[in-house]
Structure 1
Amino acid sequence: MNKEELKNRTKLFAVHIIKFIESQPDSRSFRVLSNQLIRSATSIGANYRSACKGKSTADFINKIIIVEEEADESFYWLELIEESGLGNNTAVAYLKKEANELTAIFTSIGKTAKLNQQISKNSKSN
């Protein structure tokens, strides 16, 4: 998956979260959880775009770590919605799967970037 495809995927995830939230019955508990969910889910794409414009490898890595954390946080809020019975189970299952996949993708990107940074440092010191 290239950078543009990943940008689109993170944006589509945010759109699906927004549509999911708007389709659910309103309650005090759901409102609280959905406010947290929409913040973390929309932050994934915004922070990934920022990471792509990173000023250095270290800047890129720091921003990718934030993206990874936001994806994992989105998964957490979806778990709470599911386990408290506040959302449509089919929709939540799809969104959890996507949040989990995004977390794995960004974890992998972060690990690769850190490894490449270490290799670069080691080759410069030799």
Structure 2
Amino acid sequence: MSKELEDRFFNYAKHVRDFCQKLKWNTINLVYIRQLVRSSSSIDANYLEASDDIGKSDERMKIKIARREAKETNYWLQLLITYNDPELEKEKLVLIEEGNQIRKILSSIVSKLVG
């Protein structure tokens, strides 16, 4: 596994966490924030587990789980309420785009592991 990707996924989780701290923690957002923090941090956690010497099928499964967590992270990001704050909206879009890039990277890894 790539140390560069490991760092990228870890930094993404930190950026999501920091973004969440800027949001209004009302009844609705609180549910989304909790899910978002879990899913974004699970991307790197599963990627790290895939690097353990556990066999190709387990490695592929962990990468697939990481990819699924990236998709889920974008889902929760889209649901968050920013109350039309332009700075928060901009930051949210940047995080969504990075989540899309991460999902594509993980999809590429999965396709290489199948072959």
Q: Could you say whether these structures have the same fold, taking a TM-score greater than 0.5 normalized by the shorter chain as the test?
A: yes
Amino acid at match of 1:28: T
Match of 1:105 in 2: 105
1:31 equivalent to 2:30? Answer: yes
Gapped regions of structure 2 (runs ≥ 5): none
Classify 1:73/1:54 alpha carbon distance in 2 versus 1 (closer, same or farther; 3 Å).
Answer: farther
Cα distance, 1:55 vs structure 2: 1.1
1:114 equivalent to 2:107? Answer: no
- What is the aligned-residue identity percentage? 30
Match of 1:89 in 2: 89
Match of 1:6 in 2: 5
Deviations 1:85-106 (A, max 9, x none): 4571011001001111000000
Deviations 1:39-60 (A, max 9, x none): 0000001110000114111110
Q: Give the Cα separation in 1 of the matches to 2:100 and 2:18.
A: 19
Q: Alignment RMSD, CA only?
A: 1.4
Which TM-score applies when normalising by structure 1? 0.84
Match of 1:47 in 2: 46
Match of 2:77 in 1: 78
Bigger RCO (CA 8 Å, 6+ sep): 2
Q: Give the Cα separation in 2 of the matches to 1:102 and 1:54.
A: 23
1:59 equivalent to 2:58? Answer: yes
Looking at CA atoms only, which structure, 1 or 2, has the larger radius of gyration? Answer: 1
Classify 1:66/1:54 alpha carbon distance in 2 versus 1 (closer, same or farther; 3 Å).
Answer: farther
Q: More deviation in 47-56 or 66-75?
A: 47-56
Whether the aligned pair in 1 keeps the contact of 2:46 and 2:63 (CA below 8 Å) is yes
Whether the aligned pair in 1 keeps the contact of 2:39 and 2:72 (CA below 8 Å) is yes
Which TM-score applies when normalising by structure 2? 0.92
